[in-house]
Amino acid sequence: MPAKKKTTKTYCTVCPRWEIKQPEKCSNTLLAKGKKRYFCTKKCKDRFEKTPEKFL
Ligand SMILES: [Zn+2]
């Protein structure tokens, strides 16, 4: 059986189905509770900043 390459996918914190394809290039990020959060758009980041408890 061939070894499966482990891939860690990064998803938008606000819309979990939205995969961040290049997290290293993502500019919509935020540090919350000691963890780096990623957002697909500025809109999602704003939503998170307003009500972070909804998404953590
Ligand atoms: Zn999003």
Spacing, Cα 48 to ligand 1 middle (Å): 9
User: What is the model's pTM?
Assistant: 0.83
18 vs 26: CA distance, rounded Å: 13
- Check if the beta carbon of residue 20 is closer than 8 Å to that of residue 36: no
Give distance in angstroms: CA of 21 to centre of ligand 1. Answer: 12
Q: What is the pLDDT of residue 7?
A: 79
**C-alpha of residue 14 to centroid of ligand 1, in Å:** 5
Provide the pLDDT for residue 13: 97
Q: How confident is the model at residue 6 (pLDDT cuts 50, 70, 90)?
A: confident
Give 7-49 pLDDT, tens digit per residue. 789 999 999 999 999 999 999 999 999 999 999 999 999 999 9
pLDDT score at 3:
72
Residue 20 pLDDT: 96
Of the candidates 54, 53, 21, the one whose C-alpha atom is nearest the C-alpha of residue 40 is: 21
Q: Which of 34, 50, 47 is nearest to 14 (CA)?
A: 47
The DSSP symbol for 50 reads H
